[in-house]
Amino acid sequence: MKELLSIRNFKAYYQTSSEEVRAVDGISLDLNEGEILGIAGESGCGKSTFSISLSCLFPPPLKYISGEIFLDGIDITKLNTQEIRKSILGPKISFIPQSSMNALNPTIRIRNFAIDIVKQHEPKTTRENIIHRVIERFESLSLPKDVLNRYPFELSGGMRQRTLVILSTIMNPEIVIADEPTSALDVSSQREVIELLKIMVKKKIMKSLIFITHELPILRQIADGIAVMYAGQIVEIGSVSDILFNAHHPYADVLMSSMIVPEKGMREKNLPSVSGTPPDLRHAIKGCRFADRCPEFKKDCREKDIEMVELTKGSFVRCIHPLRTKK
């Protein structure tokens, strides 16, 4: 399988004159063609910041600190804003940001969003050609083309989100990053969005997908692999079945078991089975970031920073006393 994206020890912090929030603090991962990677973790662990950072545009106060993001072998952290806008955003990486469904300007017809998106990259393509291309895309995905003549508020939530998915991917990006694209939807609309994204990967409209969600049933439906984030870092990456049922990091283990029986409003609460809250990302943390809350805590967990270790092929954990290693 071809490797599309390779991230190495990447850090991006929110920096103001008075404080620094270490929201993304040393992330490494690889993404292959055809792969759907789910990202899970408690509110505030840095999922959205990580996804925004992948554009390498860093809207202030977010700042690039260090590390590399290789896309097709090129380190895009070294590109300038103009190069990113011209050759990365759209054709290489496309975003479906958190809460973007409600951000569509209600006074603009869907067809005009499509024209704007394509014109940014292909200013000479005619409106007719663009509309023709978009109609073909809607039809190939079995969606009604008359959506193009509607305003966003005329569409149901599910149809609006599916339309947004199609508009965001009209330039056939290699990688799509979807941040909680189903969180405001009812279960049947969620399923439609999931199916659409899966079909688009299968048809190679996009080569791979990073899907951020709080909802375990959705990860089970869509993802091939899962990365679990905690306090600005990935603590475990592995196949869906490994992470869901055989997690090695104690945080991944409690997160997954708490997700298996989702409680109403759980997202705003602490994890039910462990006490305490995630650490304050404004301060440097020595040793394991989950140490204060970890049911498996041992003295050496706080002695030095913990690196990711490969347990089996494709399965990495950031823990010096991982669970289930003898299995």
Ligand X SMILES: Nc1ncnc2c1ncn2[C@@H]1O[C@H](COP(=O)(O)OP(=O)(O)OP(=O)(O)O)[C@@H](O)[C@H]1O
Residues that bind ligand X (CB under 6 A): 14, 21, 23, 41, 43-49, 61, 98, 281
Smallest gap from Cβ 289 to ligand X, in A, equals 13
**Cβ–Cβ under 8 Å, residues 37 and 226:** yes
- Angle of CA points 105, 110, 114, to nearest 5°: 105
**Binding partner of residue 314 among ligand X, Mg ion, none, CB cut-off 5 to 8 Å per kind:** none
Question: Is 23 or 170 the residue whose CB approaches ligand X more closely?
Answer: 23
Point out which residues bind Mg ion (CB under 5 A). Answer: 47-48, 98
**Binding partner of residue 34 among Mg ion, ligand X, none, CB cut-off 5 to 8 Å per kind:** none
Dihedral of alpha carbons 309, 310, 314, 316, sign: negative
Question: Is 43 or 140 the residue whose CB approaches ligand X more closely?
Answer: 43
Smallest gap from Cβ 232 to Mg ion, in A, equals 13
Question: Is 47 or 137 the residue whose CB approaches ligand X more closely?
Answer: 47
Question: Is 47 or 249 the residue whose CB approaches Mg ion more closely?
Answer: 47
**Binding partner of residue 21 among Mg ion, ligand X, none, CB cut-off 5 to 8 Å per kind:** ligand X
Smallest gap from Cβ 48 to Mg ion, in A, equals 3
User: CA 133, CA 308: separation in Å to the nearest integer?
Assistant: 44
Smallest gap from Cβ 23 to ligand X, in A, equals 4
For residue 306, give the DSSP letter. Answer: P
**Binding partner of residue 44 among Mg ion, ligand X, none, CB cut-off 5 to 8 Å per kind:** ligand X
Smallest gap from Cβ 233 to Mg ion, in A, equals 16
Question: Is 116 or 280 the residue whose CB approaches ligand X more closely?
Answer: 280
Helix axis angle for 127-140 and 157-168, nearest 10°, is: 120
User: CA 168, CA 178: separation in Å to the nearest integer?
Assistant: 10
**Binding partner of residue 275 among ligand X, Mg ion, none, CB cut-off 5 to 8 Å per kind:** none
Smallest gap from Cβ 53 to ligand X, in A, equals 9
User: CA 29, CA 9: separation in Å to the nearest integer?
Assistant: 9
HSE-CB for 295 with a 13 A CA cutoff: 14
Distance of CA 225 to the CA centre of its chain: 12
Question: Is 183 or 246 the residue whose CB approaches ligand X more closely?
Answer: 183
One-letter-per-residue 3-state SS of 138-203: HHHCCCCHHHHHCCHHHCCHHHHHHHHHHHHCCCCCCEEEEECCCCCCCHHHHHHHHHHHHHHHHC
Question: Is 204 or 283 the residue whose CB approaches ligand X more closely?
Answer: 283
**Binding partner of residue 40 among ligand X, Mg ion, none, CB cut-off 5 to 8 Å per kind:** none
Name the one residue in this structure whose structure tokens are 């300007």: 105
Smallest gap from Cβ 223 to ligand X, in A, equals 17
